[in-house]
Amino acid sequence: MGNVCSASFSCDETISHCLDCIVSQAGYICHLKDNLDALRTEFQKLIEARNDVLIRVTVAEQRQMRRLQQVQGWLSRVQDVEEEVRRREQEVICLDGLRYRSSIKSYKYGKRVVKSLKNVQGLRKEGDFKDVAQTVPENPVDERPLPPTVVGMQSTLDRVWRCLTEEPVGIVGLYGMGGVGKTTLLTQINNSFLHTPNDFDFVIWEVVSRDLQLGKIQESIAKKIGLYNESWDNKSFDEKAQEIFKTMRNRKIVLLLDDIWELFDLAQVGLPVPSRASASKVVFTTREFEVCGLMDAHKSFKVECLGYEDAWRLFEEKVGRDILDSHPDIPELAETVARECGGLPLALITVGRAMASKKAPREWAHAIEVLRSSASKFSGMEKKALSRLKFSYDFLPSNETRFCLLYCGFFPEDYSISIEDLIDCWICEGFLDEYNGVGARNQGYSLIRSLLHACLLEEEDDNRVKMHDVVRDMALWIASTTEKQEERYLVLAGVGLTETPRSELWQEVTRMSLMQNKIWRLPESPASPHLLTLFLSSNYISMANEEFFQSMASLRVLKLSNSFSLSRFPLKYLVNLKCLNLEYTYRIYKIPGQVISNLKMLEALRMFKCGSSKQESDSILFGGSLVLVEELLGLERLNVLTITLQSFAALHRLLTSPSLQSIFSNTPSLCLRNCHSLSSLSVFTLASLRHLEALDMTNCKDLEEMEIDYAGEEVKRIRETHGFFSLHKVSIWGSKLRHVTWLILAPNLKHIEVYNCRYLDEIISLEKLGEVPSEEMQNLFPFARLESLSLYALGNLRSIYPKALPFPHLKELEVNLCPKLEKLPFDCTSGQERKLIIKGQEKWWNNLQWEDQATQNAFLHCFKTRDFLLNLYHWLESS
């Protein structure tokens, strides 16, 4: 038989189930009228509730609020139910016409009525809203006004934009001096979000400023993101921060913070702190580079002053073409005026607007005079430019730092200031701790970094800084308005003076700078009992009057460096002199005995490249400088020394003198000149000068060898003791050296000059390199930091280095009268990091042999013809 499937049910359960169904179906029919009445009643209440909600929504929208999404959804569902109830009303009319003849139709209709009733009742309960609308957030990006002319910022704008849209960068810092255009750049970034597709929810702009008020910043952010309402002011600071954080943590935002002066804690006000991988971004501006570190910036960009072409475009726009074309002499004068602004947009705009009505050439000539002599007197400069820059000055961390900045104003415009020289002055003036030599110099370097970070100084290289022209104008303006009655400054640097100021101007002055003028003589002593500082560097002075310093007993700092014509230097009366700078005074042939030794307070003496080859017998420079060294022995306070020596005996005396050995070991500059009997010099001895930065060996015509055992332990010991670690520049002129292989031991060497060494056939000897132990050779990277190499009149030179080197920092190679140098140590990858210029004679260049065609092609554009005789003239003039 086949399979049989069967199901078994309890008879009572089956009957009960059927009865329930019958009763339920009967109820839909029996209670239809009651259910219809209930539906009409509940529906009317729903409509009344709907109307109340609509009134609240209308009032809120009139207050620029936006209805909530849940309210809008509820209103849509009410509309759907309203249509459904209308259908039920139509259906009952039709059904009534049939006199309920169909129980099935009555049942179905009754069921639909019950369903509609439940829907209406449910919607009534949902419509009990506490809030029906919220404050409407502002537009994601608010366009901000830009000046009509924005120039010179596109490159920086493009780099920052790539950070925000393409790179893993969350926080970007823009830093630069006041008036350079940081806010303008940030405005450009803000407006770029209006015109470039992006998916940021909010772009928020906040001005932070020096008067940091976190509560106001919170309120501004709350308004932007729709949190601000009547109850906002009643919440605590932390409650507000929590609400901001909850709203923004899952949003993609850009926060633009203008004018930050100190650490601004984003989390404190409730802002999420972006990581490198965050979708949100923060961009801020500051005058202090240090703030970029405090804000954990992932990338920082310095906003630089404008190059000349962009500066001229901005200046031209402010002056107007009509004025510039009003007289044929004005364009040239206008260019000079524009250059006086140093590319600073704030100064260009201020000066340009002031000149926009000047049609007479004499007005323009007068403007140049005023800007050069006292820029604060130029129309609008004090109020609109200098006073704004002064904020940075006021914000410096200490009075010492502020005073040191003013001191930088003593140097001429665009002057490259030696950091070491500057710190000498600060210590000897008493600005720093003069009783702690090393600590005071470290403090000086720390002050320099503070001024660099504040963008009040500009870094030229590791050893020199520069002051922007307008910052210098600010410093002189502040110095001229100082409230300290005991301080009187007179700064006439670089103004073309041919004589010293008239004597009455000296009487109350405490610090005077007459640098970089054309002063050719020093008259009889002016009455200057209060004078502490006197800068006379870079003048045409040939001889100082013996009585000139008679009334300067208070003088602490005297600078006569770069006075090329100075031939005699009698120095008396300066019993309090602490700092004396005679560097680059090549023509001095007489300094009388007992002059230097009587300067008992002297702490810093700089005589690098000081002294002529011809000396009078009664000069302390006579006799190979040995007398000079003996006079130095009596200077108990001396702790800074740069010197020129003309004999090995003088060098040996310095190296072996117990009282001078520690000072000389720290000397930054040493010149060996006319040491005719010197045939060899120990490299290891030179390496003991731990802080030597510049070495000059001129006309040591018998010098044949720089002694060092390349195969022995000396190379290793020099490296282990960081010998030559500070050496940056080496100049060698007129010797019998055949190579200078020892230079590979100077890892930070930047500049090499080799002149008139007719026996030299290699710069780095392949033979000597072969003697260096392999483990040491692996750690030597020749010329890794070299920036310039100058080779002149080396008739036997065949090789610079035996193989190609990368030269990552080389900027300039100059070769003249080196006929046997037929190959350069280059391949196609050398010098790629920087734009290299190769100077020389065209005949030499055309005869060069190259590693391959690719190398030749790589350097074809680098060559520039150089006239050797002209170059030699310039060198002799400077030497």
Structure tokens of 283? 């961009």
**Nearest of 266, 204, 214, 208 to residue 236 by alpha carbon:** 214
d(CA 843, CA 644): 38
Structure tokens of 489? 């400054």
Q: Is the pLDDT of residue 436 over 70?
A: no
- The position carrying tokens 């920052």 is 160
Q: Is the pLDDT of residue 472 over 80?
A: yes
Q: Is the pLDDT of residue 328 over 50?
A: yes
DSSP 818: -
Mapped onto helix, strand or coil, the DSSP state of residue 383 is helix
Largest interatomic CA distance in the chain:
147
| Non-local CB neighbours of 194 within 8 Å, separated by 6+ positions | 141, 143
Is residue 581 within 8 Å of 559, Cβ to Cβ?
yes
Is residue 787 within 8 Å of 764, Cβ to Cβ?
no
Q: Is the pLDDT of residue 101 over 50?
A: no
Structure tokens of 507? 């009487």
- Residue 757 neighbours by CB distance under 10 Å: 25
Q: Is the pLDDT of residue 20 over 50?
A: no
Each residue of 825-860: pLDDT tens digit? 999 888 876 679 999 999 999 999 999 999 999 898
Fold of 308-373: Helicase, Ruva Protein; domain 3 (1.10.8)
**171-175, strands of its sheet edge to edge:** 202-207, 253-260, 281-286, 171-175, 299-302
**Nearest of 471, 301, 473 to residue 396 by alpha carbon:** 471
| Non-local CB neighbours of 134 within 8 Å, separated by 6+ positions | 65, 66, 68, 226
**pLDDT at residue 124, rounded to an integer:** 84
- Domain 154-302 listed as CATH 3.40.50.300: yes
For the segment 634-644, the average pLDDT, to the nearest whole number, is 92
**pLDDT at residue 5, rounded to an integer:** 36
**pLDDT at residue 207, rounded to an integer:** 87
Each residue of 791-822: pLDDT tens digit? 999 999 999 998 999 999 999 999 999 999 99
**pLDDT at residue 412, rounded to an integer:** 92
- Residue 691 neighbours by CB distance under 10 Å: 13
User: How sure is the predictor about 1, in pLDDT bands with cuts at 50, 70 and 90?
Assistant: very low
Q: What is the CATH number of domain 383-483?
A: 1.10.10.10
**pLDDT at residue 625, rounded to an integer:** 87
Torsion over CA of 202, 208, 214 and 217, rounded to 10 degrees? Answer: -30
d(CA 352, CA 384): 12
**Nearest of 413, 424, 418, 401 to residue 533 by alpha carbon:** 424
Per cent of the chain over pLDDT 70 is 91
Q: Is the pLDDT of residue 168 over 80?
A: yes
Mapped onto helix, strand or coil, the DSSP state of residue 289 is helix
Each residue of 180-191: pLDDT tens digit? 899 999 999 999
**pLDDT at residue 82, rounded to an integer:** 83
Q: What is the 3-state secondary structure (H, E, C) of 294-317?
A: HCCCCEEEECCCCCHHHHHHHHHH
**pLDDT at residue 382, rounded to an integer:** 85
Counting every residue written for the chain, the total comes to 879
**Nearest of 655, 676, 464 to residue 641 by alpha carbon:** 655
**pLDDT at residue 590, rounded to an integer:** 83
Q: Write the DSSP string, 464-501.
A: EEE--HHHHHHHHHHHHT---TT--EEE-TTS--SSPP
β-pairing, 65-67 with 133-135? antiparallel
**pLDDT at residue 408, rounded to an integer:** 94
Domain ranges of the chain: 16-135, 154-302, 308-373, 383-483, 484-561, 578-660, 676-879
For the segment 68-94, the average pLDDT, to the nearest whole number, is 80
Is residue 629 within 8 Å of 652, Cβ to Cβ?
no
**What type of residue sits at position 599?**
L
More confident position, 485 or 525: 525
**Nearest of 200, 178, 198, 172 to residue 256 by alpha carbon:** 172
- Residue 433 neighbours by CB distance under 10 Å: 14
**pLDDT at residue 581, rounded to an integer:** 95
Each residue of 491-548: pLDDT tens digit? 999 988 999 998 888 988 999 999 999 998 888 788 899 999 999 999 998 877 778 8
The radius of gyration of the chain from alpha carbons, rounded to an integer in Å, stands at: 42
Q: Is the pLDDT of residue 26 over 60?
A: no
**pLDDT at residue 874, rounded to an integer:** 52
d(CA 804, CA 828): 9
Each residue of 238-259: pLDDT tens digit? 999 998 898 888 788 889 999 9
**pLDDT at residue 96, rounded to an integer:** 58
d(CA 519, CA 603): 28
The runs of H, that is alpha helices, within 577-643 are 626-632
**pLDDT at residue 93, rounded to an integer:** 63
For the segment 364-378, the average pLDDT, to the nearest whole number, is 87
Q: Is the pLDDT of residue 350 over 70?
A: yes
Mapped onto helix, strand or coil, the DSSP state of residue 277 is coil
- The position carrying tokens 């450009």 is 188
DSSP tally for the chain: helices H, then strands E:
30, 27
Is residue 630 within 8 Å of 596, Cβ to Cβ?
no
- The position carrying tokens 């080496």 is 730
Q: What is the mean pLDDT of the chain?
A: 85
**pLDDT at residue 23, rounded to an integer:** 44
Is residue 689 within 8 Å of 669, Cβ to Cβ?
no
**Nearest of 791, 418, 453, 447 to residue 583 by alpha carbon:** 418
User: How sure is the predictor about 136, in pLDDT bands with cuts at 50, 70 and 90?
Assistant: low
Handedness of CA 537, 541, 546, 552 (dihedral sign): negative
> What are the start-end ranges of the E strands in 659-796?
669-673, 680-682, 694-698, 705-707, 729-733, 751-755, 788-792
Mapped onto helix, strand or coil, the DSSP state of residue 101 is coil
For the segment 286-314, the average pLDDT, to the nearest whole number, is 92
Q: Is the pLDDT of residue 332 over 90?
A: yes
Q: Is the pLDDT of residue 400 over 80?
A: yes
**pLDDT at residue 336, rounded to an integer:** 93
**pLDDT at residue 11, rounded to an integer:** 39
| Non-local CB neighbours of 173 within 8 Å, separated by 6+ positions | 283, 284, 285, 286, 291, 292, 295, 297, 299, 300, 301
More confident position, 200 or 761: 761
d(CA 459, CA 116): 81
d(CA 281, CA 274): 6
For the segment 426-434, the average pLDDT, to the nearest whole number, is 83
320, exposed or middle or buried, with CB in 10 Å at 0-12, 13-18, 19+? middle
- The position carrying tokens 């059904």 is 95
Handedness of CA 471, 472, 478, 481 (dihedral sign): negative
Q: Write the DSSP string, 23-92.
A: HHHHHHHHTHHHHHHHHHHHHHHHHHHHHHHHHHHHHHHHTTEEE-HHHHHHHHHHHHHHHHHHHHHHHH
Structure tokens of 24? 């339920």
d(CA 245, CA 254): 14
User: How sure is the predictor about 103, in pLDDT bands with cuts at 50, 70 and 90?
Assistant: low
**pLDDT at residue 879, rounded to an integer:** 47
Q: What separation, in Å, do the N-terminal and C-terminal C-alpha atoms of the chain show? A: 129
Each residue of 582-609: pLDDT tens digit? 999 988 888 888 889 999 999 999 999 9
For the segment 282-302, the average pLDDT, to the nearest whole number, is 92
More confident position, 728 or 193: 728
Q: Write the DSSP string, 240-272.
A: HHHHHHHHHTTS-EEEEEEEE-S---HHHHT--
